[in-house]
Amino acid sequence: MTIIRCNCGNDAFYLRRHSGEALCKKCFVRSVERTVLRTIKRESLFEPKDRIMVALSGGKDSIALLCILSKIERRYDTEIFAVTIDEGVRGYREEGINIAKKVAGELGIEHYVVSFKEAYGNSLEEIYNMASSKGVKLLGCTFCGVLRRRLINEAAIKFGANKVATGHNLDDEAQTIFINLMRSDVARMIRLGAKPLKIRKGFVPRVKPLRYIPEKEIGIYVYLKGYPLYERECPYVRASLRDEVRDILNRIEQRHPGTKFSIVRAADKLSSLLKGEVGEIKYCQKCGSPSGREVCRMCELLSLLGLNSEVYLN
C-alpha cells in the first residue's frame, strides 16, 4: 500500500480534493488558519483597535472562528469578545451554550449570553406557540432567524463592538448564492461578501472570515483542536429549500471538486463589477432599522402576533 505523504514528510491524513494537496494533521490546521488570515488581509476585514464581537452559537463554525480569531487578536491589535444568543429552545440550546461558555473560558475570551426572553419578553418557544394559537403558520426558524439577527446587532451595540464576525463558511455562502440565483435576487447576491458593500446606519457591519473554508474542513479543524462538536438537532428544524440546495451542491462537489469555490468566486466577481448598482439603503418606517422594505421583516412578524418590535437590552 502506498503511503501518501504531506509536503513536510509526515503521513498525510487529509486529501484536499479541489487542490490535490495531501496534508498531515499539523499542516491541515495551519493551512485552515492561513486561509482565514489571508481572507482577513485581502478583504481588509479588520483594522487596528477594532472591537469585534464573535457571534458564538457553540456550533463548529463559530467555535473554529473564535479559536482562530483569539490567536490573531494581538497581531491585529484588535479586541475580541463573544456573545451567545439563547433563543429559548429547551432540551436543545443548553448544550450549545455550555460548549460556548467552556470554549470562551478556555481561550480567555470575554463572553456574554443574551436571551430572547430578556430582550423580547418571550422565548422562541413562547413566540412560536403564540403564533400557532393565532393561526399564524410560519416555521419556528422564520421567527428565530429574524429575531436572532436583530438581537445580535443590539448586543453588538450594547457591548461596544464596531464589527460582528460570523461563522458563515464556504458551503453556507455557495448555498445562499444558489438560492438567490433561483429567486433571481441579484441585488442580494452581490451584497453577499466577506464584508458589507455599504455601511448601514444603526447596523454594526458583519464580517465573515471563514467564507472560503469548506464546512467539512471546519468540522475536522474543530475535532483536531479537541473541541466538542454540538450534535443535537433543534426540534423546530424542518426540511427547507436550503437542505435541497445543500444536497445538490454536495453531489456536484463530489463529482466536480472545487464547484463551491467557483460559485463563491463568481459571485465575488459579479459583486465587484456591479457594486455601484447596490441601491440606496432603506429604513423601516416602524422601527428605523435598515431594511429592503418599507416595514422590516421583524416588525411584520411581531405585528402578526400583536407584539411590539422594541428590543429591551438593559
Q: Give the helix, strand, coil percentages of the chain, each rounded to 5.
A: 50, 10, 40
Residue 51 or 149: the one with the smaller Cβ distance to ligand SF4 is 149
Does 299 participate in binding Zn ion (rule CB under 5 A)?
yes
Q: Give 165's strand partners.
A: 54, 207
In whole angstroms, how close is the CB of 139 to ligand SF4 at the nearest point? 7
**Nearest distance in Å: CB 136, Zn ion:** 18
Residue list 74-133, contact with ligand SF4 (CB under 6 A): 87, 89
Out of 141, 186, 252, 270, the only residue in the binding site for ligand SF4 (CB under 6 A) is 141
In the list Zn ion, ligand SF4, none, the entry touching 299 (Cβ below 5 to 8 angstroms by class) is Zn ion
Site for Zn ion in 13-72 (CB under 5 A): 24, 27
Q: Does residue number 10 form part of the binding site for Zn ion (CB under 5 A)?
A: yes
Q: Report, in Å, the least distance between residue 253 CB and ligand SF4.
A: 23
Q: Which does 141 bind (CB under 5 to 8 A by kind): ligand SF4, Zn ion, none?
A: ligand SF4
Interacting span for ligand SF4 (CB under 6 A) from 65-73, 99-107, 197-205, 233-241: 233-241
Phi, psi (5° rounding) for residue 152? -60, -40
The smaller minimum CB distance to Zn ion, of residues 144 and 299, is found at 299
**CB–CB of 99/63 below 8 Å?**
yes
- Structural contact between residues 211 and 173, judged by C-beta atoms closer than 8 angstroms: yes
262 Cβ neighbours under 8 A, 6+ residues apart: none
| Element spanning 235, H or E | none
Could you give the CA distance from residue 62 to residue 222 in angstroms, rounded to a whole number? 10
Q: Is the Cβ of residue 27 or residue 311 nearer to Zn ion in the bound state?
A: 27
Of 52, 42, 6, the closest CA to residue 25 belongs to: 6
Return the one option of Zn ion, ligand SF4, none that residue 174 interacts with (CB less than 5 to 8 A, by type).
none
By the rule CB under 6 A, 237 interacts with ligand SF4: yes
> Applying CB under 5 A, does 6 fall inside the site for Zn ion?
yes
Task: Fill in the per-residue mask, 145 to 184: x = in contact with ligand SF4 (CB under 6 A), - = not in contact.
Answer: x---------------------------------------
Whole-angstrom distance between the N-terminal and C-terminal Cα of the chain? 63
Binding Zn ion by CB under 5 A: which of 53, 104, 284, 301?
Answer: 284
CA 14/CA 39 separation, integer angstroms: 22
CA 306 to chain centre: 30
Which residues lie closer than 8 Å to 186 by C-beta, 6 or more apart? Answer: 180, 270, 274
Q: 52 and 46 in contact (C-beta within 8 Å)?
A: yes
Total residues contacting ligand SF4 (rule CB under 6 A)?
A: 9
Q: Which residues here bind ligand SF4, judged by CB under 6 A?
A: 87, 89, 140-141, 144-145, 234, 236-237
